[in-house]
Structure 1
Amino acid sequence: MFRKFKGISTMTRPTFIAHCTDDNRFQSVHDHLWAVKNLCETYAEPLHLSHVAGLAGWLHDAGKYAQTFQDYINKSHDGDPNTHPGQVNHAFAGARLLGAFLNQNFDDDAIYLSELIENVVMAHHNAGGPYDYVTPTSGESPFLQRQSQKIKDWTISEIKQHFFEDFSQASFEAYLDEAIHEVSMIPDKQQETQENFYLRYIASCLIDADHLETGDFMVGKTTQQESQGASLDALCRINEEKAALQARQNATDTTSGQGMINRLRGEMSQYCLAAGQADQGIYSLSVPTGGGKTLAGLRFALNQCVTHYLDHIIIVSPYTTIIEQNTRAIRQRLDIEPSDRSTVLEYHSAIGNDQVEQDDPKNDRYYYARDTWDAPIIMTTQVAYLNALYGRGSKNLRHMHRMVNSVVIFDEIQSMPTKAVEMNNVAMNWLAHEGKSTLLLCTATQPSLSHDVLPIGIDAPKEIIPDIPSVETAFKRTELVDHTAKVWELDDLMNGLKSELTRVSSVLAVMNTKKAARQAFQQFNELNLDVKGYHLSTAMCAAHRKKVIKAIRENLKNQMPVVVFSTQLIEAGVDLSFGSVFRSLAGIDSVIQAAGRCNRNHETKIG
């Protein structure tokens, strides 16, 4: 959601300056703290931690009440060459001020609140985010070291005096009591085991609010805008109308293979509608490849948002090519123009600012959505998703709080890197149980992630499809042929390709390594057949892969003879259909995913 808030600025220098611009606009510390506090309250409302996050916002720049900081900012504004950013420590003062109020309060909830807020406030300019309470390698505590660090730039009595000249101490103490009460509502076990996520969540609220409010003041305009696009409720209504229309069209085609597949996809969509209107939790959608998971999952997510008043849909995919493909499908389904980059936000490395400028010169809403992830639907990568939860840098940290009270869809969940599986499981448990989010694990080959399989597992997901074996039988479009009795050389593969091209016009060969895919492609070109060959690999830049996939799609559409050599990247949801597929020996999940690129839309009886 897009929310409006405008800070207050003045042309005369206030007594205590928070920010100043080259055109002689000044923002007081009071106005900045109050604006950031209000934004933090709004951000943390879904988890009922408004006063906790608001307290962090209220205190984060209290150090700017120090005379040393005021001397610095005035000299800096007046061009003194001896000033430089960071020469006055203003970040620790709010933490010390809170400590002065809580150091005699030995209540467990007050201590927990103190740890949260002091850490977040001290670290709000730290690139690494909140400080570790214990460093695993040395056993030291970066948090305690900074908590006891001597500061020469100010005294706590000075900060306290000036802070309460601007704000009522009685109101502050009442607000602090409300924050302690909110913390007390977190069960003790969650406080103990999930503190890192609560810490990052409050830090995310603060960093997002601080960056947004400061940026607005510095550029002299409010970038938060009321959404000109559709709300999730409106998008859900559009999607239901499209689903009903598709169902009527499917009913008229009772003979073709494509019609049969579309009717089956419609049934999967209906199952997702029912689950979308059910309780929140962790769900799995185990539809066979080519079963319409993208639009079925969208229907589930939109109905969950409407039913439970959720804020965002975040779709996490392994490759940018899949994101671009699925984004096109979702925009088309929901009647969203390609130039509207803030209703369905793509957040990945292949999006360039020049492309955005060309599509929509008036793109403040896009940049706001990109920086804050405040968009109805967010399409992003596994890397960006994990960075929001664990990564360094304020750009990553400020996204984390958008994941709560949302639907998070993991497209091709089996492709999550093995080394990241358990850390993702920890995050999914927190999002589902404490973060009030619904999670959907999408793939034809569901990995085993439960507690009985992994040391750090998740609760068994609720499967949306009631009878998976029957659905797999109904979707069967391929026959698997085992050629593993003999180890093939490249010459054997070339002979197999030539044999298949006598009966089908398109063949895909999926190799296990980039080197193998490249060598096979090169040897095929040396055959000089009247067949177009293509090569796909993660070694190619995103723009090149996109161009090649577009060319392959055009050839397949026009039924031109084509052979494609690819690494496993083509198996993760790329919507291409070949007459025959060769797969280098791999696990059964990879074999099934490769089979999903064969006879995908039931063009023939069996592939």
Structure 2
Amino acid sequence: MFFAHSLPGESEERWQPLAEHLLQVSRLAAEFARPFGASRAAALAGLLHDLGKYNPQFLAYIRGERTGQGKGPDHSTAGARETLAAFPGGSDRLIAQLVAHAIAGHHAGLADGEGVGGLTERLKKELDPLDPAWREELGTEWMVALEQAFCPHRERARLPFQLSVLGRMIFSCLVDADFLDTEAFFKTAADLTPDRDWPRLPDINPHLTARFDAHMARKQADARPNELNGLRADILTHVRAKASLPPGLFTLNVPTGGGKTLASLGFALDHARIHGLSRIVYAIPFTSVIEQTASIFREVLGEDVVLEHHSAIDAEDGKERSSRDKMRLAMENWAAPVVVTTNVQLFESLFAARPSRCRKLHNLAGAVIVLDEAQTIPLHVLRPCVAMLDELARNYGATIVLCTATQPALGAPSRPGVRGFDGGLELSPERELAPDPEGLHRRLARVTLRRASDAMSDADLIGELAGHEQGLVIVNSRSHALSLYREAMAAGLAGLVHLSTRQTASDRQALLAEVRLRLAPQDPRPCRLIATSLVEAGVDIDFPRVWRAEAGLDQIVQAAGRCNREGRRPVADSIVTVFRPADASTPREIAGFASALAAMAGGHDDLFSPAAIAAYFEEVYWRKGEALDRDKVLSRFRESAGTLDLAYRSVAESFRLIEERMAPVIVPREEEAKAALAALAAERMPPGAAARALQRHLVQVPRPDCDRLRTNGHLSFVEGFGDQFAVLATPQFYTRETGLEWERSDELSLDGYIL
């Protein structure tokens, strides 16, 4: 008998038979792929993914008879080769190539089609012959036509890209099914429970909708009866009334403070219930907003249905791993009914090659995907991101809601000859969820915009801030925010708070709660917040004055949404001042946005009007042109004469939303973090559960600085998990007020240690 997985020291009677594993993975993968019509292809991938284990040499390896041999024989190439041999031509050949990519990469990740290390090269390697038993145990039923109803909306010009997405989806089905079945075997053998078992959204949606309705009823009963709260209620009613429209692309154009978050959740619940959709995925640009949004959703829907996923605690090395090693990876599959994540997690996963990043992708089929502040997608990857959103809506049954205060961020030009975003989404006015966006803008106008005539030094800013007991200053970098905070502290300003991604999510949440208490109208206290742009998208704070370092119009609009948010003050007294910093350079990309704003600002009296915002984005996109796909992602997937050349790995290596590569460092100050690390080290907690618990206690550090922390002994690592869980070992580098000062890593060097 041949085996998929062994249990060292245990009788072979307790090992997992290979045929049992292959058939179970095949069944699971087919089930995962059914929503997008590729169940036969996914079933084939599952059935043949470990075909190379029908090799006497592999059997000797897992029995421990190949001493000194290191890792076992290649067991994934054989299945890829057999797939291509079974479908040598015809319409199934293209799909067979996608299946071969998935099988060959199910441990080490998807490879490019051509080039060094590509699939073509790998298929040429010499392999040990397989035992004929595989044909008897697996049968021949799998040799059927692969082409089903996948990619129903195909276009010749975009077919290579569409097929690349299909291949990545098949890969996702395979690696998730493989992991789940492998985890079930090892956990059962050890009498442990699997990591997590989420309920299905269709099963619980009526209950969640009832909770949502009850929450909104309480909220309305407690709200002050004023125009703003009445307007928010009207927006919610109008948005939910459109939930019966067919799945596809929607926009929700509501100015900041209009209640977009809860309105979009209400729409998503209703739309998913009416159309039987599988889950709700809420993608947000900043982790600071994820914490707030996930907290709101848990309050509304309950603790056990919301997955908050933003940490990048997973393996980056791309090594081929044994099944046991894979159990030690922190991997998410987004099987939760409601997922709150970042744009980085969403889009970098959609263009990823590693199993740990791709495992979740099939769960986007048939989902409601809400992009909060959609205009924040970085320009250098905008075209491929938009193409991916379009593909999810076209061929995977997903509904996409572009939720923003600055539409039309991702739409195609409104008429021929307009400078703008060629290749943008075809957005229909009939699928705008908000009532009368032009009218909403006028009714929700709450601030006066001013531009400082001269550059402002930090001393100037502190002088102006000193004249107001409550004020918010937003600058363009973490270093500027920290230096300005320290100078303000030295000047003796009361109520100072510093907020940036130097701090952990847990501390940011606590600091924002403190800010809200200080701003409470019934007991106002001094509150001067110095922050980076992380406060701009969806953070619910209300200051009387805001100073914003020069940036793009969309960021200024977002900053203005933190001023007089509740409409309690006169518009003339609620001033947003845009200034050019004298003591800090403006980052190059932000300077480009500021230039685009300057180019169009003269033609508009009201820069916050929908017409001005449309003109701004036309200017931005026209200036960028081909640089909207800077790395030529879309042209790196090719097909010719029935042969695919898919640059999976090279695209994954270059596709980055945030160009500065970051690495997560865990700050173990709080008991939750200490307990999770201890449980992980003692193997009492699965790595996925530990990663979820720890993501509120980590800081994303620029990779060169993280490497320097490691070299100088300021990081420790949980034994047995490689470098996945990097822990700050020098506590004096972190305070709640200033966050992690990684620049201090050269002050002293310590000997690293193992937890």
TM-score by length of 2: 0.67
Whether 1:417 and 2:378 are equivalent positions in the alignment is yes
Distance 1:584 1:409, change over 3 A: same
Q: Is the 8 A contact 1:345 1:369 kept in 2?
A: no
C-alpha displacement of 1:102? 2.1
Matched residues in 1 for 2:533 and 2:525: separation? Answer: 23
Matched residues in 2 for 1:185 and 1:537: separation? Answer: 45
Which deviates more, 459-468 or 404-413?
459-468
Matched residues in 2 for 1:181 and 1:287: separation? Answer: 40
Whether 1:84 and 2:70 are equivalent positions in the alignment is yes
2:269 corresponds to: 302
Distance 1:457 1:400, change over 3 A: same
Matched residues in 2 for 1:374 and 1:163: separation? Answer: 32
2:118 partner letter: P
1:167 corresponds to: 138
Q: C-alpha deviations, 1:522-562, integer Å up to 9, x for none?
A: 33223324x21111223334344333223222222341111
**1:299-338 alignment runs, 5 A limit:** 299-334=266-301, 336-337=302-303
1:131 corresponds to: 111
1:569 corresponds to: 534
C-alpha displacement of 1:510? 1.4
Q: Is the 8 A contact 1:350 1:543 kept in 2?
A: no
Unpaired runs of 5+ residues, structure 1, are: 1-14, 353-366
Which deviates more, 387-396 or 293-302?
387-396
C-alpha displacement of 1:518? 2.7
C-alpha displacement of 1:187? 4.1
1:589 corresponds to: 554
2:94 corresponds to: 112
2:84 corresponds to: 99
Matched residues in 2 for 1:93 and 1:272: separation? Answer: 52
1:476 corresponds to: 445
Matched residues in 1 for 2:509 and 2:58: separation? Answer: 51
1:361 corresponds to: none
Q: Is the 8 A contact 2:375 2:406 kept in 1?
A: yes
Q: Is the 8 A contact 2:151 2:162 kept in 1?
A: no
Question: Please, which of 399, 405, 408 is the counterpart of residue 369 of structure 2?
Answer: 408
Matched residues in 2 for 1:316 and 1:40: separation? Answer: 26
SS at match of 2:112: coil
Whether 1:143 and 2:111 are equivalent positions in the alignment is no
Distance 1:454 1:141, change over 3 A: farther
Matched residues in 1 for 2:528 and 2:268: separation? Answer: 37
SS at match of 1:180: coil
Whether 1:389 and 2:350 are equivalent positions in the alignment is yes
C-alpha displacement of 1:571? 0.9
**1:365-384 alignment runs, 5 A limit:** 371-384=332-345
Whether 1:534 and 2:497 are equivalent positions in the alignment is yes
1:242 corresponds to: 215
Q: Is the 8 A contact 1:347 1:380 kept in 2?
A: yes
Distance 1:29 1:403, change over 3 A: same
2:731 corresponds to: none
Whether 1:202 and 2:178 are equivalent positions in the alignment is no
Matched residues in 2 for 1:183 and 1:44: separation? Answer: 10
2:404 corresponds to: 443
Q: Is the 8 A contact 1:63 1:89 kept in 2?
A: yes
Q: Is the 8 A contact 2:243 2:268 kept in 1?
A: yes
Matched residues in 2 for 1:376 and 1:40: separation? Answer: 19
Q: C-alpha deviations, 1:207-232, integer Å up to 9, x for none?
A: 00001101110121663747399723
C-alpha displacement of 1:603? 2.5
Q: Is the 8 A contact 2:350 2:358 kept in 1?
A: yes
Q: Is the 8 A contact 2:281 2:370 kept in 1?
A: yes
Matched residues in 2 for 1:184 and 1:372: separation? Answer: 23
Q: C-alpha deviations, 1:11-40, integer Å up to 9, x for none?
A: xxxx11111113442111110011001101
2:688 corresponds to: none
Question: Please, which of 521, 529, 536 is the counterpart of residue 485 of structure 2?
Answer: 521
Distance 1:192 1:468, change over 3 A: same
SS at match of 2:565: coil
Matched residues in 2 for 1:278 and 1:544: separation? Answer: 41
Q: C-alpha deviations, 1:148-183, integer Å up to 9, x for none?
A: 3322x22xxx45x212221332x233xx23x23456
Matched residues in 1 for 2:329 and 2:462: separation? Answer: 51
1:167 partner letter: L
Question: Please, which of 233, 242, 252 is the counterpart of residue 206 of structure 2?
Answer: 233
Q: Is the 8 A contact 1:113 1:183 kept in 2?
A: no
Matched residues in 1 for 2:464 and 2:230: separation? Answer: 34
SS at match of 1:346: strand
2:473 partner letter: A
Q: Is the 8 A contact 2:516 2:541 kept in 1?
A: yes
Which deviates more, 392-401 or 200-209?
392-401
Identity, % of aligned positions: 30
Which deviates more, 595-604 or 542-551?
542-551
C-alpha displacement of 1:573? 1.3
Q: C-alpha deviations, 1:407-458, integer Å up to 9, x for none?
A: 1111122222222322211210111111110011112123532344334422
Matched residues in 2 for 1:149 and 1:368: separation? Answer: 29
2:32 partner letter: Y
SS at match of 2:547: strand
C-alpha displacement of 1:184? 9.2
2:306 corresponds to: 344
1:149 partner letter: K
Distance 1:65 1:125, change over 3 A: same
Q: Is the 8 A contact 2:106 2:171 kept in 1?
A: yes
Distance 1:494 1:226, change over 3 A: closer
C-alpha displacement of 1:517? 2.5
2:43 corresponds to: 54
Distance 1:186 1:561, change over 3 A: closer
2:87 partner letter: L
Whether 1:600 and 2:565 are equivalent positions in the alignment is yes
Which deviates more, 115-124 or 186-195?
186-195
Whether 1:554 and 2:536 are equivalent positions in the alignment is no
SS at match of 1:553: helix
RMSD: 2.7
Q: Is the 8 A contact 2:375 2:410 kept in 1?
A: no
2:29 corresponds to: 40
Distance 1:486 1:369, change over 3 A: closer
Q: Is the 8 A contact 2:153 2:395 kept in 1?
A: no
SS at match of 1:519: helix
SS at match of 2:409: coil
Distance 1:384 1:65, change over 3 A: same
Q: Is the 8 A contact 2:288 2:534 kept in 1?
A: no
Distance 1:74 1:575, change over 3 A: same
Matched residues in 2 for 1:390 and 1:473: separation? Answer: 40
Which deviates more, 67-76 or 51-60?
67-76
SS at match of 2:133: helix
1:110 partner letter: D
Matched residues in 1 for 2:261 and 2:473: separation? Answer: 25
Matched residues in 2 for 1:575 and 1:181: separation? Answer: 47
- The number of equivalent residue pairs is 540
SS at match of 1:111: helix
1:512 corresponds to: 476
2:750 corresponds to: none
Matched residues in 1 for 2:560 and 2:7: separation? Answer: 60
Matched residues in 1 for 2:138 and 2:466: separation? Answer: 81
Matched residues in 1 for 2:228 and 2:308: separation? Answer: 29
2:78 partner letter: A
Whether 1:74 and 2:63 are equivalent positions in the alignment is yes
1:10 corresponds to: none
Q: Is the 8 A contact 2:49 2:76 kept in 1?
A: yes
C-alpha displacement of 1:141? 8.4
